[in-house]
Structure 1
């Protein structure tokens, strides 16, 4: 089955995603921007045959099977719902939405329309991530008891930049923190409670935040993220009989190793790739749609698994609660629910 992709949005992440996926053989047939000029320039740059000067025209394009939403995350819910209403499957950049309430709306709309919606949390789809899941399932480090992960970058300080604007969902959490939070939830499950502390800018967005989460059975995770400092960005999963250490930059294709309880290296892995690794998430969507076509309808998937939409909603609810404790408020916060209501059944 050939899956034809459309791109909604023409910013930096769209350029990186399309360039990487095109090199891996993913087929892009259309792009939509807010202007004809922007769409045509992007199409010419990436060899995409059709350019649309508005998003509605893109999602109405009958040659498009899947829409990749690459607008700022303050628009993700609106743009995903537009594509879903048009009957398109959707891959939505992370953070999936601004709030869990928005994520629920997108999830429910996709289910009602009978289309697939997936969060483009690309780390989840890397081959090294699948290998780490196997290592954990085999019990090679015993029972996981602690996850540690960071994501620090020195990003623009201009108060007019979207990262520093509360109206656009600015702050470290949704751009950077979503990586380590998702990683901790992927490994240990949705937390039963959390404590968050952070530093706010004059504009009211979080410049730094740390979260300690408690998970089933008393396991814990500690994550920290910031947009005003740069660090190596590594991660570890510590178990009762050993640990897994991921080297910088841990959320990209990288090197990693298994250590025993005394810290000695048991096995080393090299997950680095020639390409950036974005194509794995696109191929996962294509594989799901191909399976659907072979079965004559949607194939049952684990919606609360690491790539499932219920899992994504749960992560968004965790971040809602962290923001609530730190004091970061968005205009979309009119329907925040406590994180424990979002545990996948």
Structure 2
């Protein structure tokens, strides 16, 4: 049995995917209405977190990000493997010592950064390993989406995105920062600018740009926002021998050589929903000994750098 802590939209998605993969689920959420949604989908529910942890072999932590640290501590204390939704947290806090404790106990702590299993990202990793664009010179990562379109019918000003301390575009799009690290190596932020366009009435930042320096010597930029229509999501890598262009939404991978000729131009099958299933399948495999797609250590390094970027932008902690 897998426990899911937090039964908002992402928690329910994870719970359904776990059940579709043949596992049973027990869900915890303080909200009776959210528990009822999982129960209607065929999962067991409880109003007690400790009961959920006692009955499971592994846990998915999908609670609000300011609860992740405490929920992870409880999972490790109960001796349970854990998949933690992004971001791993909104501060470092006890996370380093919790990961130490998990490793000492032989427990898997993985982070739910599902863009790593996107087929275009996997193609890019293989292309870079094969040196198809030569020495990488720079990268650009972009996530520009209109927040009100994410969950029609809900007031985006009431959700986690509008918390200036734990939400906002930078934490929400930590996926893009993780992709930069996953493809180009861990980084330190050199500069970051964040602000409010005023178009959504948010208290948190709805736009941000960061300039990163990677351990490989490569530089990259990350742009994230809540205000762009139509949406844009993807990345662009440039090397001495060509370029890679990826449109994540359209699942399009394009490799252009130094003369501007298309060497590869492929549109891959599937959807983000499929990537969530792949992510969950990989976590269940990691509980049995396979390496996690994104380890807690990797996620912690990205979180540390993102917190530093937020500090450079003058955002609250």
Q: Answer yes or no: same fold by TM over 0.5.
A: yes
Structure 2 residue runs without a partner (length 5+): 149-154
Which string of whole-angstrom CA distances, capped at 9 and with x for unpartnered residues, describes residues 134-167 of structure 1? 1111111112221111112222576443211235
Answer yes or no: is the 8 Å Cα contact 1:259–1:267 preserved in 2.
yes
Q: Distance in 2 between matches of 1:259 and 1:229?
A: 27
CA distance in 1 between counterparts of 2:69 and 2:228 reads 30
Note the C-alpha offset of 1:248. Answer: 4.2
Partner residue of 1:308? 295
Give the equivalent residue in structure 1 for 2:89: 97
Bigger drift between 79-88 and 147-156 goes to 147-156
Q: Distance in 1 between matches of 2:188 and 2:116?
A: 22
Partner of 1:52: 46
2:173 is the counterpart of 1:186 = no
SS in 2 for 1:262: coil
- Counterpart Cα distance in 2 of 1:154 and 1:126: 21
Aligned length: 306
After TM superposition, the score normalised by the length of structure 1 is 0.81
Q: Matches of 1:30 and 1:67 in 2, distance apart?
A: 9
Q: After the TM superposition, which residues 272-311 of structure 1 pair with which residues of structure 2 at under 5 Å, given as runs? A: 272-273=269-270, 275-291=273-289, 307-311=294-298
Structure 1 residues 155, 102: CA separation in 2 closer, same or farther (over 3 Å shift)? farther
The match for 1:338 is none
CA distance in 2, matches of 1:280, 1:57: 28
User: Does the residue aligned with 1:277 lie in a helix, a strand or coil?
Assistant: helix
Q: 1:43–1:262: structure 2 CA closer, same or farther, 3 Å change rule?
A: farther
Distance 1:110 1:217 in 2: 29
**SS at 1:153 equivalent:** strand
- Distance in 1 between the 2:187 and 2:125 partners? 19
Shift of 1:99: 1.7
1-side partners of 2:189 and 2:163: how far apart?
A: 28
Once residues 189 and 278 of structure 2 are traced to their aligned partners in structure 1, the CA distance between those partners, rounded to angstroms, is 32
CA gap 1:112/1:313 in 2 versus in 1, 3 angstroms: same
Provide Cα deviations, 1:209-244, integer angstroms capped at 9, x if missing partner. 100112235311111101233332221122111121
* Shift, 1:35, TM fit: 4.4
CA distance, structure 1, for counterparts of residue 66 and residue 249 of structure 2: 26
Higher relative contact order (CA 8 A, sep 6+): 2
Residues 248, 42 of structure 1: alpha-carbon distance in 2 compared, 3 angstrom cutoff: same
- Write the deviation string for residues 115-136 of structure 1: whole angstroms up to 9, x where unpaired: 1100000111234433321111
Query: Does residue 257 of structure 1 match 2:254?
Result: yes
1:139 maps to 131
Asked whether the 8 Å contact 1:191–1:216 carries over to 2, the reply is yes
1:233 alignment counterpart: 233
Cα pair 1:38 1:53 within 8 Å, conserved? no
Question: Are 1:211 and 1:322, in contact at CA under 8 Å, matched by a contact in 2?
Answer: yes
Are the counterparts in 1 of residues 147 and 156 from structure 2 also a CA contact under 8 Å?
A: no
The answer to whether structure 1 residue 30 and structure 2 residue 22 are counterparts is: no
Say if 1:114 and 1:290 are closer, same or farther in 2 by CA, change over 3 A. Answer: closer
Structure with the largest fraction of strand: 2
Closer, same or farther in 2 for the Cα pair 1:76/1:311, shift >3 Å?
A: same
Find the aligned partners of 1:243 and 1:21 in 2 and give their Cα distance.
Answer: 38
Which sections of structure 1, spanning at least 5 residues, go unmatched? 293-300, 331-345
Shift of the 131–171 alpha-carbon distance from structure 1 to 2, 3 Å rule, reads same
Question: What does 1:6-25 align with in structure 2 at a 5 Å threshold?
Answer: 6-23=3-20, 25=21
Conserved? CA contact 1:85–1:113, under 8 Å? no
